[in-house]
Chains A and B, each alone.
Chain A
Amino acid sequence: MESSRSIRGKMFTEHYHSAAQARQDGKPIAYITAFTPVEILKAMGLVCLYPESYAVVCAASNKSADMIQASGMEAFSQDLCSYSLLSFGAEHYEKLPFQGLPQPDMLIAANNQCGTTMLWFRLLAQKKNIPLFIIDYPAAADDQPSLVNYITQQYEVLVDFVKGHTGNDLNTSILNEQIERSKKTCHLWKSVHEVNKARPARIEAHKIIDALFPIVVAKGTQQAYDYYDALLNEYSQMAEQDTVDAVRLLWHGYPMWFLPNKFPLCFDDEFQVVLNDYTLWWSLNYPDDSSGMEALAAAYSDTYLNRSIQRKVEEVADLIADYSIDGVICHVNRSCRRSLADINPLRKRLHQLSIPSVTIESDMANPSFYSDEQVRLRIESFRDALRRVL
């Protein structure tokens, strides 16, 4: 059986090389936001690229500081979302990973994860003079039938939009296959995390972050399913004696993509981040009792950041219980305003649960907002405090 590492390596390279090839072959290319219903677009023959994911690739390649500076050429404030700055900076930067993303034919954005992407994509549409379609997902909606109806109506318009620009029809057979595989792959991705419910934890959370790429860019593909199947198999077979029980930490929120291990290097055998809830956000809940567009509407309207604050806080509380978490590190990511809203309510809940926590202010992709000394001081103080509690 092919190793998960080998599959992922191939997928990563193929994703960007095949995109460049698609441009040469004249296939229609769309830039899409993180939680766009890609299944519909794939079933209409679109090649889909994720500028947010590419921003992560740039940040992890140690290019973000220079690229964000380059975005200053267009007079963008450095206080904007660092993913968007990386995207705009890429226009003025030469040494891009994979020679950059090929030019798109259209843009499709959704507001179920982020508000900034709407403005970012609108600006891209103006600059590139290409069509833009925006899908609206009301946040924290409680009338599920009306919500699903509202969203599926937009999906129907989306199908017309794509057909109008490509001439391609929706292939419902491919759509259903995509949805079914997305659903199974999301289940597998969740199961990969759940391996760490065991004590001692089998795998460090930063290694799980390394496995994120396929669920983001290739959710409905057989290759992604095979990858997570192989990964889960490998993790499940890891011998218990290979790992050491440690103080179990939850990293709440975004990783720091520009750091080698995605988290500050302040953890060791004694303190281990066993779960990063951000990576779990990518495991969407495709319902069992509906199919087609309705299933997609239910899954994509229920992204983590589109839920109510109260629900988000309680979900973190559930994770703390399920994964036997001893302490929580909250990353206040200045780029993502929507993820900040639950920090203080979460703290309040953690106080009630007597779970120690610490807050680190930084950014997901802009290293100029990261101060190693300040972060170390906070984490060291947190470790000190945890030693006394446990």
Chain B
Amino acid sequence: MNYYLGIDVGSSYIKLALLDDAETMAFQDVIQRGADIDASCRACFDEMLNRCQIDRNQIEGIIATGYGRKQVTFCDDVITEITALAVGSYAIDRTIRCVIDIGGQDSKVIVIDQFGKVLDFMMNHKCSAGTGKFLEVTSASLGVPMEQLGPLSQESDKVLKLSSICTVFAESEIISCIARGEKKEDIIRALHRTISGQVRGLFSQINSFSDGTIVFVGGLALNDGMISELSETLKQRVLVPPHPQFVGACGAAIFLRRKMEPVLTLQGT
């Protein structure tokens, strides 16, 4: 059996997706990104070989994507996360025409055509409003771990509105909310709504022209509260795949496999 490895080096986490010849996921893993990106990726790669009990020679190719893709010295190819997310999403469902990714450092809305090719994309501009970093910083000021944000927000029974979209100003606004006795679950829900509002700004500029399924990927798509708020804000149902944080790594691996086997590409697409 031969394998193809996609490594998605995000601003907060490194995700690995190992696919076999049939594009079936053989292994996936996520680790916190270290200061030395190449060393972190290499350690994760070695551990993968060990856990999967496969030989390095069985891996046909390694491709990196994400912000830190150029730091990965042992890969054979690199692609941007826009392409990787488009390929990965289209592989999940061919009716997908719009991909929403909320990452640690940015938010992206990508429009793809009926063949899975990128037609257009928007990213947040020079600001962390509407990103995972916004939620990370603000949740820290609430003393709530990221993984508890979703369940807690689902318990909210009050619509609270934050006026700040800026991470720094929102943090001080949260302190004021706490001081006046607002509940944590209501504040968290408001944070989700703030991010959704930012994503809607990108979405409405780019996606008002296309039909088709909208998919929500990236680490924040693991947060049920975020999914609910995003659907409500966009007034559309969003599809969330089973492992949303691996769509980029998986898409990169699919891209590589099809690139290395052009005959299969023609048949597959």
> Chain A: residues with CB nearer than 8 A to chain B?
344, 347-348, 350-352, 354, 356-359, 361, 371, 374, 377-378, 380-382, 384-385, 388-389
Q: Taking the nearest CB of chain B, how far is it from the CB of A378, in angstroms?
A: 7
B83, B119, B120, B208, most chain A CB atoms within 10 A = B120
Q: A344 contacts which chain B residues (CB < 8 A)? A: 205, 208
- Contact: B209 with A361, CB < 8 Å? no
Instruction: Give which listed residue, A350, A361, A374, A388, contacts B120 with CB less than 8 A.
Output: A350
- Contact: A381 with B82, CB < 8 Å? yes
Q: Which of B12-20, B122-130, B231-239 touches A?
A: B122-130
Q: B126 contacts which chain A residues (CB < 8 A)? A: 361, 371, 374
Known: A357-B120, A361-B125, A381-B121. A347 touches B83 (CB 8 A): no
Instruction: Give which listed residue, A350, A374, A385, contacts B82 with CB less than 8 A.
Output: A385
B117 at the interface (CB under 8 A from A): yes
16 contacts between A and B (CB under 8 A): A347-B205, A351-B209, A357-B119, A357-B120, A359-B122, A361-B125, A361-B126, A374-B123, A377-B80, A381-B82, A381-B121, A382-B82, A384-B80, A385-B86, A388-B117, A388-B118
Q: Taking the nearest CB of chain A, how far is it from the CB of B147, in angstroms?
A: 29
Known: A347-B120, A351-B111, A356-B118. A385 touches B83 (CB 8 A): yes
Q: Taking the nearest CB of chain B, how far is it from the CB of A203, in angstroms?
A: 28
- Contact: B80 with A389, CB < 8 Å? no
> Chain B: residues with CB nearer than 8 A to chain A?
79-83, 86, 111, 113, 117-123, 125-126, 205-206, 208-210
Looking across the interface, which residue of chain B has its beta carbon closest to that of A383? Answer: B80
Q: A348 contacts which chain B residues (CB < 8 A)? A: 208-209
- The complex places the Cα of A348 from the Cα of B82 at a distance, in Å, of 20
Q: Taking the nearest CB of chain B, how far is it from the CB of A247, in angstroms?
A: 14
Known: A351-B111, A371-B126. A385 touches B210 (CB 8 A): no
- Contact: B117 with A389, CB < 8 Å? yes
Q: Taking the nearest CB of chain A, how far is it from the CB of B163, in angstroms?
A: 20
Q: B210 contacts which chain A residues (CB < 8 A)? A: 351
Q: Taking the nearest CB of chain A, how far is it from the CB of B118, in angstroms?
A: 4
- Contact: A381 with B83, CB < 8 Å? yes
Known: A344-B205, A388-B117. A381 touches B122 (CB 8 A): no
- Contact: A374 with B80, CB < 8 Å? no
- The complex places the Cα of A295 from the Cα of B24 at a distance, in Å, of 68
Q: B205 contacts which chain A residues (CB < 8 A)? A: 344, 347
- The complex places the Cα of A344 from the Cα of B119 at a distance, in Å, of 14
Q: Taking the nearest CB of chain A, how far is it from the CB of B106, in angstroms?
A: 9
Q: Taking the nearest CB of chain B, how far is it from the CB of A70, in angstroms?
A: 24
- Contact: B123 with A385, CB < 8 Å? no
Q: B81 contacts which chain A residues (CB < 8 A)? A: 381
- Contact: B123 with A356, CB < 8 Å? no
Known: A344-B205, A351-B111, A381-B83. A356 touches B120 (CB 8 A): yes
- A-B interface, 3 closest residue pairs, ranked by CB to CB distance from nearest: A385-B118, A381-B82, A381-B80
Q: Taking the nearest CB of chain B, how far is it from the CB of A320, in angstroms?
A: 14
- Contact: A347 with B206, CB < 8 Å? yes
Q: Taking the nearest CB of chain A, how far is it from the CB of B263, in angstroms?
A: 17
Q: A354 contacts which chain B residues (CB < 8 A)? A: 113, 119
Q: B117 contacts which chain A residues (CB < 8 A)? A: 356, 385, 388-389
Q: Taking the nearest CB of chain A, how far is it from the CB of B175, in angstroms?
A: 29
Looking across the interface, which residue of chain A has its beta carbon closest to that of B113? Answer: A354
Q: B122 contacts which chain A residues (CB < 8 A)? A: 359
A356, A361, A371, most chain B CB atoms within 10 A = A356
Looking across the interface, which residue of chain A has its beta carbon closest to that of B206? Answer: A347
- Contact: A351 with B120, CB < 8 Å? yes
- The complex places the Cα of A358 from the Cα of B122 at a distance, in Å, of 8
